[in-house]
Structure 1
Amino acid sequence: MQEFTNETIDLANLPKYEDVILTAPNSKYWNVIVINLGIVLIILGAFLGLFIFLLDDKLPNPIYPIAGYVLFSAFLFIIYRLSFKKRGFALREKDIIYKHGVIAETTTIIPINRIQHVALDEGITSRSYGLATLQIYTAGGASGHVQIAGVEIDKAKMIKEALVKRLDFIVDATAE
């Protein structure tokens, strides 16, 4: 009969994920964000212009919605810029770390053995800058999925291959 043990773990001796140096998204990814955000803001601006045009006689002063739109646009650019600077990822021997967020900073650590599928997404704008998004799907449901955007296509393919090879190794080891 095997003897049961349940020792307390000394938390001070655990490795600190905060000490891991994260890889930031490629600087060209900021251009992709600006283009995508610009397209959305142009569409919103067109709707605002149509709204102002249709209600021209009922609006006391159209400068207020226009000023609100400009302030909202500036706020979005600031938030996206801060968010861009906070992003980072690291591929380690047994897991992958992804950090993001401005108001609420989120660090996701996915053990390699929990990964079920890895996909590579190249959007139109990202592809024109030679960038891709790594999508990592886990067994933990939608909350465990991670999308790492702004990775150079060659590097993203290498990471995907490395993860797939490790997954194959884990599957082979558990099958034996």
Structure 2
Amino acid sequence: MPTDPYGLTPVPLAALAAQITQRLREHFPARKERDRQVLALAEETGELMGAYRRWTGQARRTGPFSDVAAELADVVITAYITAHVLDRVLPEPPDLAELIDDHTHPGGDEQVMHLFTITGRFVQAHLAGRTNATGPADEVATAHLADVVAAAYATATVHGIDLADAITTKTAVLFTRGWRTPRT
């Protein structure tokens, strides 16, 4: 579980998402907030793919494993922010023991591609639900968003990433690097 911006107490991911959303709303216009946040989740998943490719030697340049862990943390944090912006509730992270016992998850490259695919399904469901915010398409989008989080944790498990630690580290970066100048 990540800690608060000052590292004092554990903060549930939903509460962290609410804090970050508040800061984002100070810096970005409310117009198109929902779509902007869905795009942010797609972007973070793409950044994870890039970090993974670099780490595995499948890109023009190499990169460290720590970048994979950091980008995976970004995916999870952004998924919870997205849920908050969409007024949806995601459960706290899945029990990692359940993921380890569940042998249905692929390994290596396949798991990372699975996470990317699940994120794409969420984006598609969001697009389908934009005209009907409380209909079946929106419920499907919420289910896919929960699947994104589960796939991220499964990816961490497959690759031996301490995702709680990565999220705590990323949270510290988020709250110490500064923000853009607020809108006036």
TM-score normalized by the length of structure 1: 0.25
Answer 1 or 2: which has greater strand percent: 1
TM-score normalized by the length of structure 2: 0.24
RCO higher in structure (CA 8 A, sep ≥6): 2
Answer 1 or 2: which has greater helix percent: 2
